[in-house]
Amino acid sequence: MAKKRKPRRKRRTRAATRTAPGTAPGTVVMDPGAPRPVITVMAFRPDKLVEQTISDPRALRDYTQRWPITWVNVNGLGDERTIRTIAESFDLHPLVLEDVVHTHQRPKLEEYPDQLFLVARMPQLEDVFRTEQLSLFVGPNYVVTFQERPGDCFEPVRKRIREGVRTRLLQADYLAYALIDAIVDSYFPALETFGERLEILEEEIQHKPTAEVLRRIHDLRHDLLALRRSIWPARDILNSLVRDPIPLISDSTRTYLRDCYDHAVRIIDLVETYRELSGGLIELYQSAVGHRMNEIMKVLTVIATIFIPLTFVAGIYGMNFNTQSSPWNMPELDWYWGYPLTLAVMALIVGGMIVYFRRKGWIGG
């Protein structure tokens, strides 16, 4: 039970970490439990790559000035001063900083004079479905990403940079695309676990439709809602990146983003299908429970209707009418074949019942 309770707690907190209503916008209230930021820089040109973890964010301005392309990744948002310094190095809008730190934003896209600001949500495959906020800034020659925690789905991108497949990655918009694409694609494994959960549930419904199973369908639907809330707006953002005339996005990157958009649409398709299927599971569950109920009722009915008449017959010959006072008073009791005849009548009743129940399909095949 304790294991079940935990995720629910977490859910509640989703709406919780926010600035108090009415405080000045741009106010950054840090979550005291957030991990301290770790800044990793990848700056490269076609023939060279620098990959470093730096501790002083003031060094960042250097990179953007000296390298054709710089990717700054920040893991953890637990120190206001560090975050502020990074923000200043890239001239980030103060309002936006608030969105970076309060990690319950819906995915969104905001255009600034020569910067794009994107919020995306990365699915996390723990026992409960959760998403981590990724804030991504694209400038003319840099990409800055903020993550809530260490651990992400960008390893393959890093590998491509390290291995020198960099030609296209030298453009900031293409690099941003590569990261977005990695995020979108990371939804597929998440969806697969959903598919598996659906299948397991379907099997369990058939074998053991306990209240626990319904509870888990409920949880699954809860998670699908969360998943949907993070992928729907993502699709809109991708659509807008593909169609709107954003100067920072080149036409060739747009072609790639269109592909990415197609993936988002496919994910939504699957999510909606899973939602419908989970609705069908509830029907299956209710029918399985109803089926059990019917089976119980059938056993009760069969046993009761067979034995109740028999008991009645036995009751008749248990009466104490005085056979002496009248020849009409239960003469059967004194018959030679009285008892065997009575048993035979009972056997007949049982036989008739069994034939009747068989016809109704309550007994046997």
Which residues in 120-179 contact its own copies (CB under 8 A)?
153-157, 160, 165, 178
Neighbours of 182 (CB within 10 A): 18
What is the closest distance, in whole angstroms, from the C-beta atom of residue 103 to its own copies in the complex?
12
CA distance 182 to 230: 15
Copy the structure tokens of residue 3: 């294991």
| Stretch near its own copies under the rule CB under 8 A, chosen from 31-39, 74-82, 241-249, 283-291 | 283-291
Amino acid at residue number 62: D
- Determine the size of the site formed for its own copies (CB under 8 A): 125
The answer to whether the CB of 278 falls within 8 A of the CB of 227 is no
170 burial via Cβ count (<10 Å: 0-12, 13-18, 19+): middle
Greatest CA span in the chain, whole angstroms?
Answer: 126
Q: Is 259 in the site for its own copies (CB under 8 A)?
A: yes
Q: From start to end of the chain, where are the E strands? A: 38-45, 48-54, 69-75, 108-112, 115-125, 129-138, 142-147
Q: Give the sign of the dihedral formed by CA 214, CA 220, CA 223, CA 225.
A: negative
| Stretch near its own copies under the rule CB under 8 A, chosen from 39-47, 58-66, 128-136, 260-268 | 260-268
What is the closest distance, in whole angstroms, from the C-beta atom of residue 342 to its own copies in the complex?
7
Which residues from 48-87 bind its own copies, rule CB under 8 A?
none
Q: Give the sign of the dihedral formed by CA 92, CA 95, CA 101, CA 107.
A: negative
What is the closest distance, in whole angstroms, from the C-beta atom of residue 212 to its own copies in the complex?
10
CA distance 134 to 103: 8
CA distance 265 to 262: 5
Q: Backbone phi, then psi, for 272, in 5-degree steps?
A: -65, -40
What is the closest distance, in whole angstroms, from the C-beta atom of residue 248 to its own copies in the complex?
18
The answer to whether the CB of 193 falls within 8 A of the CB of 94 is no
What is the closest distance, in whole angstroms, from the C-beta atom of residue 85 to its own copies in the complex?
23
**x-or-dash string of contact with its own copies, 22-51, rule CB under 8 A:** xxxx--------------------------
Of 84, 93, 149, 216, the one binding its own copies by CB under 8 A: 93
Q: Is 2 in the site for its own copies (CB under 8 A)?
A: no
User: Looking at residue 177, what DSSP letter applies?
Assistant: H
Which residues from 295-354 bind its own copies, rule CB under 8 A?
295-301, 303-305, 307-312, 314-323, 325-326, 328-330, 332-340, 342
What is the closest distance, in whole angstroms, from the C-beta atom of residue 113 to its own copies in the complex?
12
What is the closest distance, in whole angstroms, from the C-beta atom of residue 8 to its own copies in the complex?
6
| Stretch near its own copies under the rule CB under 8 A, chosen from 51-59, 68-76, 243-251, 279-287 | 279-287
Which residues from 102-121 bind its own copies, rule CB under 8 A?
104-106, 108, 110
The answer to whether the CB of 99 falls within 8 A of the CB of 105 is yes
Amino acid at residue number 210: T
**x-or-dash string of contact with its own copies, 199-218, rule CB under 8 A:** x--x---x-x--x--xx--x
Q: Which is nearer to its own copies, 36 or 212 (CB)?
A: 212
User: Strand order of the sheet with strand 48-54?
Assistant: 48-54, 38-45, 69-75, 142-147, 129-138, 115-125, 108-112
Q: Which is nearer to its own copies, 69 or 157 (CB)?
A: 157
What is the closest distance, in whole angstroms, from the C-beta atom of residue 10 to its own copies in the complex?
12
CA distance 102 to 168: 33
| Stretch near its own copies under the rule CB under 8 A, chosen from 41-49, 73-81, 141-149, 293-301 | 293-301
What is the closest distance, in whole angstroms, from the C-beta atom of residue 253 to its own copies in the complex?
10
Which residues from 178-197 bind its own copies, rule CB under 8 A?
178, 181-186, 188-189, 191-192, 195-196
| Stretch near its own copies under the rule CB under 8 A, chosen from 34-42, 79-87, 221-229, 240-248 | 221-229
